[in-house]
Structures are given as C-alpha cells and as structure tokens.
C-alpha cells in the first residue's frame, strides 16, 4: 500500500485541482513582473506565504489523524455485520462528490479569492468530527456528504501557485505535501495512545479543538493571495460552467495516443490503490488482529519509508534507469505488495509487504514527471488535468469496489469461522483467501504494467496535441499566447498528493512529495 491519498484520501486526493485563466474583462497587470502581481492584503499576518498554507494543512490533517483509532472502532460498532461494505460506500460517495465539486470550487476561488474558500472547505471537512461521540450514524452520514467541500488541497495548491513563481512551485508544493504527510505520521499514534489511556471522548474533543484552531487561523491570520480579484468589479465576473465540468479533461484523453496510454495506466493502477487506502487499516485491525497502537505504528513506519522512497530513491532511479523504467518498477512493486496482502495471513507478512508498498509509491510521481517533463509549458494543465480527473474518479469507485468485493466474499463471516476452527482443530489458513480485493488489485495493476510497456520513453505530447495548445486552455477554452510581461493566472500543476497513504507524490525534479495514502485515511475519516 502506498502512502500517497487518507483521496483520498485523500483524495491522497487530492486529485482535481483546476485553475481558471484570468478573463479578458479583468484588469491586466501587463507591466508588472510576476513577483509583483500579488500584493499584500490588508487582512492576515504579513504577506501571503507558503507557511500559511503549511499551517492550514498541518492542523486540518493532524486533527483527522488523531481520530484514526476511534473511527475504526466506531465503524465496526456501527456496522458490525457489513463493516467493509459500509466503509466502502461511505468513502465512495465522498470521493465521487469531491470529484464532481472540486472544479467548481476551483473556478469560484479564482473569482472570489482563496481565503473564503479555505474557510469553507476546512469548516465542512472538519464538521463531522464532533459527531463521532454524539451519533456515529450521523458522523458517517455527514462524512459522505462532506465530500462536496472536502477539497482543501485544491484551494491550497492554488494559493501556493498564486504566491510563487513557476521555478519555485515544485519546492513549495513539496513543502506543503511533506507537512501533510508528517502530520499524519505522528497524529494516529498520539490519538491511539490518548484513546487507550483517557478514552475516545478526549481524542474527539482535542481533534475538534484543533479543527477550530485551524478555522480561526484562516479567519485571522491567513492573508488573501488574490487581492486584485477581490475588487467589487470582479465579484460580478461570470463563471464558465464548462470550466467547472469535472469530465472536461477526461473527454480529451483519446486525442493523443501517449496520453491515452498514460491515463489507462493511471486508472488501472490507482483504482485498486484508492480502494486499498480506504479499507486497509480497517483490514489490519479487524481481520489481521492488529491493535490500534499497532495500526498507528504501521502508518508511521510506512509513511517514513514512503518519504524516503519518493525523495532519495526516486531521485536515484530517475537518473539511473529513466522515467519509464521507474514507472514500470513502481508498478512491479505494487503488484508484489498487493499479492502479498492478498495471500498473507500473518502480521509479519503485513509489515514486510508494507516495506514493498513504500517502494511502490514511486509510481505516480514518476507518471507526473513523465507528463511535466515532456509537455510544453502551456500543455501542463492538459496532461496533469487528465491524470487528476482519472485519480479523482478512482477515489470514488475504488472504495466502493473494495467494499463490495469484501462483501461478496463474506470476508468477515469466513474469518470468524476460521478463528473458531483454529482454536479447536488445526491451522486452516489455506481454506480461504484472506484479502480477495487485494488480489483483484494485483490483477488490475498487472494490466496497467502491460499497458505501460507501450508508453514511449520520450513522448512529445506538445507536438501530437498541437490542436490543444493552439485552441484550448487546460480546461477546454480558447486562448491566445500572452504577450511578454502580461500577467496571467499560473497553471496549477497536479502534484498527485493522494491521499492518506501514497504519502509522497510530486514532480521530479523538485520532489513534490505526497498526496496521500493517508488521504484515504482522511477520506475514510
């Protein structure tokens, strides 16, 4: 399992970052250098900076990470007979709603500014937290519908794009994503300890307090990154519903053979990944017998290994074996870890497969790099938007698919029978396959590997997709080249921070690390 997107998450994803070009009727800043386009807003502390984004992300996902152990317990107590199925449905609905709403929220934030939408997304993403102890049924119901606004990363990366120049953006994204991953490495362990010593109620109160602190920080301390767009004249700017269409980028997939191969690879490999992240920690606790403390330790170790894999190891592989071979190697590791999870019946096998899963987290940063390094500058949004759309769709389909497979194989019932047999007869681990969805995932990734073999090592997307470049923006709208010095909305590249588990994701070089696997943790939470 990769620490990419708790979409989910995560994301994760994470997944669905759309930035809209400045409409013609907005005042142009043609004689200003890029660094001067954004001026300091009167609200907040100081000028807009990456540190503001870092703090917002850390507080939000730290609060959700604290709830890992209590959420797993509440899920089993609320749905004792169909735990995996209901978990998949909850996360599937949330993922699909996020996929559908993220482009619209991105479009609105381009017109009305980032700060108000940061407030909106953080508030509604954290709104279910207090309900965990009030009413678990309402808690999971609100989690599902909160997917409409659970797109904080979309706004955060747009915020970062507003205040950084293009050559600084990779490192800024990596800084935000690394902070996201770090918060989810330590918070589950803290939450599990506090839950064991003081009970779940204290953990819920603490998580709620941190979420409120995050909201207050945005309200009081975060300056607006787009002050020129907050003028009264811009508030009446029309929104293009075509730009807010979540399927807009997906419709361009078939226009280029290389992009089509990449998108098929992403779909076949990320579909099982999204499902895995939504159910894996529940699987460890309910089927493999991990304690909440062991689950928290597993998350921490896997996250740290993923960070190393997606920084040091990824850099070495990209230089030594090339972009395409790095993708193939990552897919190979993913097949191995999924098969190991599927057949594994002992806790040590889960830990060993986790180390392989950390290595498999190099796949999607390498995919992003393949697009970003071969596409023309004004083609970045096209390619990355397609990958983002595919991943966003998988964040909805994957959890539901895994939940359904667990359900049709009666994993919970068969595991209970197996435990009784082990107590009274002898070892019957071979009587069932412990994790059928993981074996399905391994087969899906094997197909992705076969497709990836046909991806050119050095594709020229810009040449083959010339019609996009000349006639469409990343979101399907006509545009003309900007004259020298003209201010323009920076293209927001997908960082594939997916969710809680593929911890680190990003473009090489610059290592835009992380989008989630712990995002699935958050998508599930």
β-pair type (516-517, 500-502): antiparallel
- Residue 517's φ and ψ, nearest 5 degrees, are -100, -25
CA distance 407 to 474: 40
pTM above 0.85, yes or no: no
- Residue 242's φ and ψ, nearest 5 degrees, are -65, -35
The pLDDT value recorded for residue 372 is: 64
Predicted confidence (pLDDT) per residue in 225-259, tens digit:
876 544 444 445 556 666 667 777 667 666 777 77
Structure tokens belonging to residue 109: 């934030």
Predicted confidence (pLDDT) per residue in 385-409, tens digit:
566 667 778 887 888 888 888 888 7
The pLDDT value recorded for residue 113 is: 79
- Residue 502's φ and ψ, nearest 5 degrees, are -70, 85
**Within the chain, which residues score under 70 in pLDDT?**
1-45, 166-167, 169-171, 173-174, 177-178, 227-244, 249-250, 252-254, 372-389, 410-434, 459-525
Q: Which residue has the tokens 């059928």?
A: 436
The pLDDT value recorded for residue 494 is: 36
Ordered by start, the domain boundaries in the chain are 34-231+244-476+489-524
CA distance 157 to 179: 13
The pLDDT value recorded for residue 459 is: 64
Question: Spelled out in words, what is the top-level CATH class assigned to the domain 34-231+244-476+489-524?
Answer: mainly alpha
Please say whether the beta carbons of 461 and 379 come within 8 A. yes
* DSSP conformation letters of 404-430: HHHHHTTHHHHHHHHHHHHHHS---GG
Q: Which residue has the tokens 């594994």?
A: 344
Quickly count: other Cβ atoms within 10 Å of residue 170's Cβ: 20
Q: State how far Cα 46 lies from the chain centre.
A: 29
Please tell me whether residue 289 adopts helix, strand or coil conformation.
Answer: coil
Q: Which residue has the tokens 């990769």?
A: 2
Structure tokens belonging to residue 490: 């920076």
514 φψ region: left (φ > 0), alpha (ψ -120 to 50), beta (else): left
The pLDDT value recorded for residue 406 is: 80
Question: Distance from first CA to last CA of the chain, Å, rounded?
Answer: 18
Rg (Cα) of the chain, in Å, rounded?
A: 22
DSSP state of 278: H
Please tell me whether residue 144 adopts helix, strand or coil conformation.
Answer: helix
């Amino acid at each position: 399992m990769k620490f990419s997107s708790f979409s989910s998450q995560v994301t994760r994803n994470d997944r669905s970052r759309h930035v809209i070009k400045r409409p013609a009727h907005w005042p142009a800043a043609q004689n200003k250098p890029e660094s001067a386009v954004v001026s300091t807003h009167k609200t907040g502390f100081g000028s807009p900076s990456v540190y503001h984004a870092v703090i917002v992300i850390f507080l939000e996902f730290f609060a959700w990470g604290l709830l890992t152990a209590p959420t797993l317990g509440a899920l089993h107590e609320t749905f004792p007979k169909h735990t995996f199925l209901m978990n998949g449905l909850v996360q599937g609905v949330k993922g699909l709603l996020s996929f559908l709403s993220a482009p619209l929220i991105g479009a609105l934030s381009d017109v009305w500014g980032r700060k108000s939408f940061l407030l909106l997304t953080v508030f509604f993403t954290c709104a279910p937290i207090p309900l965990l102890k009030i009413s678990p049924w309402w808690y999971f119901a609100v989690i599902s519908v909160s997917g409409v606004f659970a797109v904080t990363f979309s706004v955060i990366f747009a915020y970062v794009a507003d205040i950084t120049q293009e050559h600084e953006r990779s490192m800024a994204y990596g800084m935000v994503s690394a902070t996201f991953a770090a918060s989810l490495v330590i918070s589950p362990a803290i939450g599990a300890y506090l839950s064991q010593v003081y009970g779940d109620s204290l953990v819920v109160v603490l998580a709620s307090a941190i979420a409120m602190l995050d909201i207050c920080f945005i309200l009081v301390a975060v300056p607006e990154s787009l002050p020129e767009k907050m003028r009264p004249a811009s508030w009446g700017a029309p929104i293009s519903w075509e730009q807010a269409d979540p399927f807009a980028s997906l419709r361009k997939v078939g226009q280029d053979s290389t992009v089509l191969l990449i998108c098929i690879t992403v779909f076949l490999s990320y579909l099982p990944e999204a499902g895995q992240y939504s159910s894996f920690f529940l699987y460890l606790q309910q089927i493999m017998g991990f304690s909440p403390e062991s689950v928290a330790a597993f998350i921490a170790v896997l996250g740290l290994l993923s960070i190393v894999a997606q920084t040091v190891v990824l850099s070495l592989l990209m230089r030594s074996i090339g972009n395409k071979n790095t993708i193939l190697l990552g897919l190979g590791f993913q097949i191995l870890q999924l098969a190991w999870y599927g057949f594994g019946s002992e806790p040590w096998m889960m830990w060993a497969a986790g180390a392989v899963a950390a290595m498999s987290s190099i796949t999607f940063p390498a995919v992003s790099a393949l697009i970003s390094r071969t596409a023309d500058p004004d083609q970045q949004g096209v390619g990355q938007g397609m990958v983002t759309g595919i991943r966003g769709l998988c964040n909805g389909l994957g959890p539901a698919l895994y939940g359904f497979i667990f359900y049709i194989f009666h994993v919970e019932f068969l595991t209970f029978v197996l435990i009784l047999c082990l107590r009274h007869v002898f070892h019957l681990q071979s009587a069932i396959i412990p994790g059928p969805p993981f074996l399905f995932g391994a087969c899906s990734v094997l197909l992705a590997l076969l497709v990836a073999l046909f991806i050119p090592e050095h594709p020229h997307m810009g040449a083959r997709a010339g019609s996009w470049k000349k006639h469409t923006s990343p979101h399907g709208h006509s545009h003309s080249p900007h004259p020298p010095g003209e201010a323009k909305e920076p293209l927001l590249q997908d960082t594939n921070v997916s969710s809680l588990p593929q911890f680190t994701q990003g473009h090489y070089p610059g290592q835009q690390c992380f989008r989630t696997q712990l995002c699935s943790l958050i998508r599930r939470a």
